[in-house]
Structure 1
Amino acid sequence: MEKDDTMQRLHGKTALVTGSGRGIGRAIALRLAAEGARVGIHYAADETAAAKTLAAVEEAGGSGFTLRTELGVPGDADALWAAFDEHADGLDILVNNAGVAAPGTIDQVTEDDYDRVFAVNAKAPFFIVQKGLSRLRDGGRIVNISSGVTKVAFPGMTAYAATKGALEVLTLTLAQTLGSRGITVNAVSPGTIETDIHPWMADAGAKAAAAAFSVFNRVGQPEDVADVVAFLASSDGRWVTGQNIDVSGGSGLGI
């Protein structure tokens, strides 16, 4: 991340990115900070990773703070906002990025798997928004990170895909509900992204197979997603709401 004073579109804004210690969330936090936002870096367990994200933000001339709360447990939204309130008195940009996977076909997913993935991926964002509305300023932005798995049948991720479908419908409903306050609400759906949560990409053959889904014949990078989120978070995205932006490099266009 390089600070560019000519592109400080988010100067004076406060952002919160859930699950931003690593991967896509980390890239989003860095990108928003590069635009001038003060960024809340949320994490559930990996304090070291979150500290590294904050250090990267500050080394590039940005500012932020970290907050640790577990999602998917009773009272998670209240705990998150209590931690946030210790650092800021209002919010302009909320990015619901945190999520967990639950691989498995319909016959393989257990009730515990199902409850966990829905608690983190669907229930937590719902109540984070609900309890955050008093903090979110008029004209603010909500961006929900969905997934390309909602575009086609993906039997190996049945429960996970269902949570992202729920998040996309929530996005549409919130856009209509919050429009009177000038708040835009959009979803961003990445394809396969190269992060440390995908160790299988160390296998050249597996990575090549994933790359082949994109018309550009490569896997995505976290920055590919972060740049789109930054657009939606800025004034440039003021006339875009209720949308699900595909950020998959044209994956599956020939299917």
Structure 2
Amino acid sequence: MPISDVLTNSTLLQLRTLANEHEWGLAYNASDDMRAIAAMQLAGEILTYFNKTISSKGASKFGVQFGAYATFLSFFGLVDLPKVSDNFTGVVDYASSMTFELFTNATVASGSFPSTDDLQVRFLFHNGTASNTSEPAVYPLFGGSADAVSYNDFQTNLNKFAISTTEQWCNKCQNTTGSCAAYASGSSGSGTTNAQGSNGGGGMSPAIGGVIGAFVTLAVVLGSLALFMLLGGYRLASKKRLAGVATRQGVEPKA
């Protein structure tokens, strides 16, 4: 059967639709925002850069990042872009771009920088490669209808989920090992409260569950090894003892 008879336009459309649904479900879920952890970190980096631009009075004018399509989908969900269009629940094409433009409509004296209250943010997106004939379009954020939001509102809304520090990341992920160990003692605050709430108030945190799982696995492995040695008639012996026995029997021990 020719492949053209199998991969029809309707079949390809169905495959694309199913792929979009699958990837959207992995990247964002309103009841489980941990799936959007990559976009939370992106939001923190956006705020960090904008604050640097403001504090330096415009010395930092342009920033670029590159990432995977899943981060796009996660961010779309966090800022309510699917309310604007269902297209924001589909996998973006290669070379797609998101743009955050910081600007002001206020009159500013030459050589000065506008106050934070006068700053606004505009969000633009283009699916696939942008060009002079196909430019990024403006879309409203946070479920609103305006093409731009004040920087204060932008910062307030992003701070609801943004991760800007290692401590925030550790508490959000409930990680207490490695570089997160330094913040473990402070995890009894909001991070632990949220974890208990999501597990019915008396549940076990993922970190503790992982430790218990590791010890259970180790116990099973050691138990299986002991049973194998018992039934097979094997026993542990030191290398020095084996070398001594081999020497007495006139056999040169191997290294």
Q: What band does the TM-score fall into relative to the shorter chain?
A: under 0.3
TM-score, with structure 1 as normaliser? 0.24
* Higher normalized helix content (fraction of residues): 2
* Higher normalized strand content (fraction of residues): 1
